Amino acid sequence: MSHTLGVRQAQKQKTRQALLDAALGLLAEQGLSSLGLREVTRVVGIAPAAFYRHFKDLGELGVALVEEALGSLHVMVRAILAEQDGAEERIDRTVAVVERHVRAYPLHIRFIARERHGGVRAVRQAIADELDRFAEEVAAALKSQPVSEGWRDDDVRMLAELYVDRLVTTAAALLDADEDGAPGAADQVVRTARRQLRLISIGRRHWREEGDDLP
């Protein structure tokens, strides 16, 4: 009996993943708010009613795609920020991680870039929540670095949000550059990202609390 249940659970998980993959492919050319449930189930080869065994609606499927798209990037970037090398080395490795992630998961990046300000509220909120957790993780890593000594928690959090925003923007720009295919476009995005992050890093070293020695 337990073997039968295990087989059924494995098949259910396989179908669930097939639905996610099918939706992701269809979303390469359209927003989630315009995607039809029948389009997704037709690709997978199941009846529309079977969809509801896995997700209550397309919004819930979209939330699952958000978790799939952003989850692994958190772990990689957090590990880099926790290292004690110099700021430039961390920046270079972080940008390289983002670049590899874009190349490995272009459809996920396109989905996040489009739906971050898209028409499905649950998915917008899920993206915002994931990026908020991302910022918390980055802030914790930044707080442990000697250069953050004496910083207020809200200032460290603001710095983390700057880094996260740059990384998300860089990922979307890299995807656009790859799709455009112009020679050197992706390299230019990488160079710009490194310069922007270094500028933030320089500003970090010279930051004063609001009201201190300001004209």
Query: Per residue in 117-164, pLDDT tens?
Result: 998 999 999 999 999 999 998 898 888 888 888 899 999 999 999 999
pLDDT of residue 5: 62
pTM of the model: 0.86
Which ranges constitute the DSSP H helices of 27-120? 37-44, 58-82, 87-104, 106-115
Q: Which residue has the tokens 């396109």?
A: 110
pLDDT at residue 213 is higher than 80 = no
Query: Per residue in 87-125, pLDDT tens?
Result: 788 889 889 988 998 999 999 999 999 999 998 999 999
Q: By three-state DSSP, how is residue 149 classified?
A: coil
Cβ atoms of residues 164 and 134 within 8 Å = yes
Question: Which amino acid makes up residue 68?
Answer: E
Cβ atoms of residues 32 and 58 within 8 Å = yes
Dihedral angle sign, alpha carbons of residues 139, 170, 58, 50: negative
Query: Per residue in 156-192, pLDDT tens?
Result: 999 999 999 999 999 999 999 988 888 999 999 999 9
Q: What stretch of H or E contains 49?
A: none
pLDDT at residue 24 is higher than 80 = yes
The counts of H helices and E strands in the chain are 8, 0
